[in-house]
Amino acid sequence: MKKTARGVLSCVALTILVLALAGCGGQKKSTLKVYNWGDYIDKSVLESFEKQTGINVIYDEFATNEDMYVKLKAGGSDYDVAIPSDYMIRRMISENMLQPIDFNNIPNYQYIDERFKNLAYDGKNQYSVPYMWGTVGILYNKKMVSEPVDSWRILWDEKYKKQILMLDSQRDAIGITLKMLGYSLNTKNQKELDEAKEMLIKQKPLVLAYVGDEVKDKMIGNEAALSVVWSGDAIFMKKENPDLEYVIPKEGSNLWFDAMVIPKNGKNKKEAEQFINYMCSTEIAYKNADFIGYSTPHSDARKKLPPELTSDRSVYPEKEDVKNSEVFEDLADSLPLYDKIWTEIKSK
Ligand code: N2P
């Protein structure tokens, strides 16, 4: 009786062992950890990558460049691919937080339009592969705002008290205020920054909320009249609610580029490069751009998108549409000035 029980037990143990070995083909499955903005990919792309390569993808999201930076800098994470913006990539390069990419492993890089290569944030093209690009602008509801919208000033108009949504992102909020005041959004001048701070504090009673991805539900649901948004989200919202319109204000704005990088702490460089290359295949780049609404730097994927989208100059602006706009630079030693202002504004 005793013997039989032991026999059954060892038989069960053996079966489990055999199944476990069969399940992973006798070897450990490789993994890839990806860190991206919220709502910034067609998730079916992750599944198809897993299926095609057998690599298991762990996918996490962040809401701002600053959140992403803090998590990576803390050192406890080991993401293999992250997708920050230009100025943050510059900062991460200068702080030795990224691994150089072996472009021999990214043959699909050839499809990235030359306009998006050798940009100042990664001048020698060693660390990043462009993913999406765009602008910051005002998305407004034509039923709630009847006057023409062409200036950031409208976000300070008492008439729209509690109908304004501001981007909960320090570079963006301070940046558009600096542009409204006629200053550079990369200024390090204390007087100009103080002026921007005062304006943002003055604006606070008019602001319904500081938001991230929630802006989409709110604007689509007609809960606010005006919002500061990134261009690709504007496209998505315009599709869902035809009363919405997007403009790049005349004072100029921020022109930005988000790109894929390989953080220093990542342990799977080979898989990371495989993933980046996959994201740059025409089919996948098209799928992502079509799904999220953002502008793709991929020349062939762009050709596959509906012409009414790619000819919309608020999404695919021409040079003259962004002539007053600037790309964010890494603020380096002056960053604490911005951090301090932002804390003061948010705590008022
Ligand atoms: C999408 C975030 C877009 C990033 N939720 C803009 N740089």
Q: Whose CA is nearest to atom 2 of ligand 1?
A: 37
Residues 182 and 246 occupy one common structural domain: yes
Residues 260 and 121 occupy one common structural domain: yes
Residues 249 and 238 occupy one common structural domain: yes
pLDDT in 10s for each residue of the chain, 348 residues: 344 545 554 545 544 444 444 444 446 789 999 999 999 999 999 999 999 999 999 999 999 999 999 999 999 899 999 999 999 999 999 999 999 999 999 999 999 999 999 999 999 999 999 999 999 999 999 999 999 999 999 999 999 999 999 999 999 999 999 999 999 999 999 999 999 999 999 999 999 999 999 999 999 999 999 999 999 999 999 999 999 999 999 999 999 999 999 999 999 999 999 999 999 999 999 999 999 999 999 999 999 999 988 999 888 999 999 999 999 999 999 999 999 999 999 998
Q: Whose CA is nearest to atom 1 of ligand 1?
A: 40
Q: pLDDT of 82-127, one tens digit each?
A: 999 999 999 999 999 999 999 999 999 999 999 999 999 999 999 9
CA of 333 to the centre of ligand 1 (A): 25
Inside any domain, residue 6: no
Residues 189 and 225 occupy one common structural domain: yes
Residues 305 and 339 occupy one common structural domain: no
Residue 130, classed as helix, strand or coil, is strand
Inside any domain, residue 16: no
Residues 72 and 146 occupy one common structural domain: no
Residues with C-beta less than 6 Å from any ligand 1 atom: 37-40, 85, 213, 230, 256, 258
282-315 burial code (b ≥16 CB/10 A, e <16): bebbbbbbbbbbbbbbbbbbbebbeeebbebebb
Alpha helices for 241-334 (secondary structure H):
269-279, 282-292, 299-304, 307-310
* Separation CA 72–CA 66 (nearest Å): 10
Residues 169 and 264 occupy one common structural domain: no
* Separation CA 228–CA 70 (nearest Å): 24
Give the CATH number for residue 297: 3.40.190.10
Q: Which atom of ligand 1 is nearest to the CA of 213?
A: 5
Inside any domain, residue 14: no
Amino acid at 15: T
**What is the pLDDT at residue 223?**
98
Whether 342 and 171 have beta carbons less than 8 Å apart is answered as no
**What is the pLDDT at residue 7?**
52
* Separation CA 218–CA 10 (nearest Å): 59
Domain count, the chain: 2
Inside any domain, residue 142: yes
Inside any domain, residue 73: yes
Inside any domain, residue 82: yes
Residues 150 and 229 occupy one common structural domain: yes
Alpha helices for 137-259 (secondary structure H):
170-180, 190-203, 215-220, 231-240
* Separation CA 279–CA 131 (nearest Å): 8
Q: Which atom of ligand 1 is nearest to the CA of 65?
A: 7
Domain holding 93, by residue range, is 21-133+255-310
Most ligand 1 atoms within 8 A of CB, residue of 35, 40, 41, 69 to mutate: 40
Most ligand 1 atoms within 8 A of CB, residue of 87, 258, 325, 327 to mutate: 258
* Separation CA 139–CA 248 (nearest Å): 9
Residues 160 and 306 occupy one common structural domain: no
Whether 134 and 127 have beta carbons less than 8 Å apart is answered as no
Strands (E), the chain: 31-37, 56-62, 81-82, 129-141, 164-167, 207-211, 226-230, 244-247, 255-260
Inside any domain, residue 12: no
Inside any domain, residue 316: no
Locate 84 and state its tokens: 């920050």
Whether 237 and 315 have beta carbons less than 8 Å apart is answered as no
Residues 262 and 334 occupy one common structural domain: no
Residues 213 and 283 occupy one common structural domain: no
113-123 burial code (b ≥16 CB/10 A, e <16): eeebeebebbe
- The maximal CA–CA distance of the chain, rounded, in angstroms, is 89
Amino acid at 46: L
Residue whose C-alpha is closest to residue 34's, from 81, 101, 97, 98: 81
74 Cβ neighbours under 8 A, 6+ residues apart? none
Residues 284 and 334 occupy one common structural domain: no
